[in-house]
Structure 1
Amino acid sequence: MTAPPRISIIIPALNEAEGIADTLAALAPLRARGHQVIVADGGSADATVELARPLADAIVDAPRGRALQQNAGAAAADGDVLLFLHADTRLPPDADRLVLDGLAAGGAGWGRFDVRLTGGAPMLRVVERMISLRSRATGIATGDQAIFVRRDWWERAGGFPPIPLMEDVALSTTLRRRGRPLCLRAAVTTSSRRWEQRGVWRTILLMWRLRMEYALGADPERLAARYR
């Protein structure tokens, strides 16, 4: 008998001791159904690794940087589908069924979820809608949307480019050349702290400006410095 498809969930982490245990505990039902959870640590100076170890299938040490950490996690994964999950993001409970059934039914090789932000400010509901609509219109996904990709598509794409920002946009652009993403309407829930700390409108304008400059060929190192 053929084994059912398996998802490897890869979480890049850096000093995430405050929330990593809750993130991984939420994935316990998926592990119980046979899926794999890998934490790719970028040199945390806190208790991230110690807290994560009993709640993950593997801890991978990687050079600091989300692209490098996710690539290292993917290299250690053995799933048929790779799913990249930020440490402050939660999947819907039936994420594995949605991903596997969606990929099988639609013939797509990759995809992403809609997004829900944790904050209660009304403007955040507008931001959620904008993110999802933009992604559907452009075929580009961001890391907050929990990008997933079949292993064969991942290998042909060559993984995330080793850049400090826009690695998700770059990978999406490469994958889109082979086919448009599966856009799942089910939402992942991700922290709104970035929007709340910087201000919603300020963050919107910053992200639009950075994406435009990246599309025009700006150096990702310089963009990353402004993003921080």
Structure 2
Amino acid sequence: MRFSVILPCFQEIRHGYLDRILTNLVEQSGDKEIIAVVSASDDGTEQVLKTYAAKCSDFYVVRSPARNRAQRLNDGIAISTGEIILLHHPATLLPEKNALKLIEQTLGSERSDYAWGAFQHSFDDPHWLLRFTSWYSDNVRVKQKGVVYLDHCPFVDRQVLAQVGNIPELDIFEDTVLSDRLRQFSKPVLAQGKVITSARRFQQRGIYRHAMLNQLLKACYHFKIDPTWLNRLYEQKAGINVKYEEGLKK
């Protein structure tokens, strides 16, 4: 089973995770290619990626004019060759060394029943609300609702992903829309391994405040408010996934 790991990048040095992510990926066992898709960044992201690519024959750095994360993922998918696509969140660490083996074990024995899945989730901060958020995400959002966020590092059968048109090119909630489409083929399956996501955004904005913002955004999404406006509200000019030239109110 060959894997294509697609890592979308934009100003990633700020997370303090990029070197750890790349080391983690290079050390993963299994038949893989790593495709890092980077939009114009002025913080040295591309240089770091190229340093790792120079050490690994199956590591490719692609410069992309994409304006959002979904487009970066699609640019990577377009040149990938693996039969399983792993959508890698740029502030999340995979289980060390055996993540691809865990996917193979999960899909290999149940391939006829499951077309996609994800890893179990955790944050790098032990705050009770973040631990609850990860528990809820695994046991309610994924297992009961069949919605997988990108920070779970979802993996998808290539042919199924192509049938749903790859990643919806939205500024935010692209992973939710993708989940809705993939559920036509199967419910998602959770692999045994656990990923670790940076809690940096919660820590910067305040854990309770950021959690409330996330709930507000989800409510707005269900009321079909424009995702571009919602992402501006989420990013608050921080340039997290999208580089906006204008302020929120314009």
TM-score range (shorter-chain normalised) is over 0.9
Contact in 2 for aligned 1:43/1:64 (Cα 8 Å): no
AA aligned to 1:54 is: T
Tell me which residue corresponds to 2:11: 15
Query: RMSD in angstroms over aligned alpha carbons?
Result: 1.5
1:41 aligns to 2:38 (yes or no): yes
Contact in 2 for aligned 1:106/1:182 (Cα 8 Å): no
Task: Determine the C-alpha separation between the residues in 2 that align with 1:165 and 1:13.
Answer: 15
Match of 1:141 among 148, 152, 157: 148
Match of 1:189 among 179, 191, 196: 196
Match of 1:113 among 98, 115, 119: 119
Unpaired segments of 5 or more residues in structure 2?
Answer: 54-58, 236-250
Q: Which moved more, 1:196-205 or 1:109-118?
A: 196-205
Tell me which residue corresponds to 1:74: 77
Give the secondary-structure state (helix, strand or coil) at the position aligned to 1:46: coil
Match of 1:203 among 179, 185, 210: 210
Task: Determine the C-alpha separation between the residues in 2 that align with 1:184 and 1:105.
Answer: 12
> Which portions of structure 1, spanning 4 or more consecutive aligned residues, are displaced by more than 6 angstroms?
none
Task: Determine the C-alpha separation between the residues in 2 that align with 1:116 and 1:10.
Answer: 21
Identity %: 29
Contact in 1 for aligned 2:20/2:93 (Cα 8 Å): no
Task: Determine the C-alpha separation between the residues in 1 that align with 2:43 and 2:106.
Answer: 38
Displacement of 1:174 after TM fit?
0.4
Q: Structure 2 length as normaliser, TM-score?
A: 0.84
Displacement of 1:186 after TM fit?
2.1
AA aligned to 1:27 is: L
1:124 aligns to 2:130 (yes or no): yes
1:29 aligns to 2:32 (yes or no): no
Tell me which residue corresponds to 1:168: 175
Considering fraction of residues, name the structure with more helix. 1
Q: Structure 1 length as normaliser, TM-score?
A: 0.92
Give the secondary-structure state (helix, strand or coil) at the position aligned to 2:12: coil
Unpaired segments of 5 or more residues in structure 1?
Answer: none
Contact in 1 for aligned 2:39/2:63 (Cα 8 Å): yes
Task: Determine the C-alpha separation between the residues in 1 that align with 2:220 and 2:129.
Answer: 25
Displacement of 1:210 after TM fit?
1.4
Task: Determine the C-alpha separation between the residues in 2 that align with 1:217 and 1:73.
Answer: 28
Give the secondary-structure state (helix, strand or coil) at the position aligned to 1:106: coil
Task: Determine the C-alpha separation between the residues in 2 that align with 1:29 and 1:21.
Answer: 12
Displacement of 1:102 after TM fit?
0.9
Tell me which residue corresponds to 2:107: 103
Task: Determine the C-alpha separation between the residues in 2 that align with 1:130 and 1:201.
Answer: 16
Give the secondary-structure state (helix, strand or coil) at the position aligned to 2:109: helix
Displacement of 1:183 after TM fit?
1.6
Tell me which residue corresponds to 1:52: 49
Give the secondary-structure state (helix, strand or coil) at the position aligned to 1:79: coil
Task: Determine the C-alpha separation between the residues in 2 that align with 1:161 and 1:121.
Answer: 32
Give the secondary-structure state (helix, strand or coil) at the position aligned to 1:45: coil
AA aligned to 2:61 is: I
Contact in 2 for aligned 1:82/1:149 (Cα 8 Å): yes
AA aligned to 1:39 is: A
Task: Determine the C-alpha separation between the residues in 2 that align with 1:162 and 1:39.
Answer: 18
Give the secondary-structure state (helix, strand or coil) at the position aligned to 1:60: strand
| Matched pairs, number | 223
